[in-house]
Amino acid sequence: MGSFMECDGDKVPGPDDLNVNFVKSNWEIIKVDFMNFKSDIFTDGSVVRHVNKTFVALIPKVRNPLSLKDYMPIRLVGVIYKKLAKGLANRLKKVLNSVVSPNQMAFVKDRQIMDSFVIAEEIIHF
């Protein structure tokens, strides 16, 4: 439930027609089903196809868009899938530094890809 509480509940529902406020207000009713569903996913590694459905809409940024850069993509992701992904990401954060090589610089908190360029430049000029 923690990851549900972190989210704004008034956002537009995704493909599953649920928003976070619905889940928060009905948590006691759906909690057992959600936890069983989450357990099944972590046990067998498969996600039911309709749960991870995402809609992408292109919203024009200018009055007369002519190219793709004139649009802003908006993703509508189902609340259940979003929360499963958030929960998994929170769990992975705890062990990420121990499973990712120290040489991996990008996409890891407190590591920057620019550090690799600095190290490479220092090696070249050594």
66 pLDDT higher than 90: yes
> What is this structure's pTM?
0.58
Domain total in the chain: 1
Report d(CA 20, CA 103) in Å as an integer: 38
pLDDT at 54: 80
Quick one: average pLDDT of 12-25? 74
Domain that holds residue 24: 2-124
11 pLDDT higher than 80: no
pLDDT at 41: 79
Residue 105, phi then psi, degrees to nearest 5: -105, -35
- Cβ(33)–Cβ(18) under 8 Å? no
36 pLDDT higher than 90: no
